């Protein structure tokens, strides 16, 4: 219950302050673990929503699950803005930022290949990045 409350609080803070996030989550033993939440927003038209989800599942999802410090992620979709929001939790900012740029580029390339196939787009990224940042409790 406390974990759910912290997640809801983080989402409210995200809406009010879309700037850099370290969130505290209550652990089963009563202690708190500080985690960094990476926030990404992508342009995702409603007719391409399923293709976006499938591209995520075929690229970023399996890759992230293998990364040290990765704790989980949420994919959300805003029908009014036609945007996807990704909230990616990391055990520490250091682990997140230690990932080599070349590794990120390779996974992004795979994501874009799957996205183009799913949307029947010939070139480019069908789901361009609109915003990236971190979230932190005050």
Strand partners, 77: 84
pTM of the model: 0.76
CATH architecture type of domain 2-135: 2-Layer Sandwich (3.30)
Contacting residues for 101 by C-beta, under 8 A, at least 6 apart: none
Which tokens belong to 119? 């949307």
Instruction: Name the nearest CA neighbour of 136 among 33, 4, 5, 18.
Output: 18
Q: Could you report the per-residue pLDDT of 114-126, keeping only the tens digit for each?
A: 999 999 999 999 9
Q: Could you report the per-residue pLDDT of 39-94, keeping only the tens digit for each?
A: 999 999 999 999 999 999 999 999 999 999 999 999 999 999 999 999 999 999 99
- Domain residue ranges in the chain: 2-135
Which pLDDT band holds residue 34 (cuts at 50, 70, 90)? low
């Amino acid at each position: 219950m406390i974990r759910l409350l912290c997640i809801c609080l983080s989402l409210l803070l995200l809406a009010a302050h879309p700037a850099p996030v370290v969130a505290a989550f209550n652990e089963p033993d009563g202690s708190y673990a500080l985690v960094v939440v990476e926030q990404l927003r992508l342009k995702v038209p409603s007719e391409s929503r399923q293709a976006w989800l499938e591209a995520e599942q075929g690229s970023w999802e399996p890759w992230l699950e293998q990364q040290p410090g990765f704790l989980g992620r949420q994919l959300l979709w805003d029908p009014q803005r036609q945007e996807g929001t990704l909230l990616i939790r990391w055990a520490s900012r250091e682990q997140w930022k230690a990932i080599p740029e070349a590794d990120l580029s390779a996974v992004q390339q795979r994501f874009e290949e799957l996205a183009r196939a799913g949307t029947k787009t010939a070139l480019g990224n069908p789901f361009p990045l609109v915003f990236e940042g971190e979230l932190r409790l005050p």
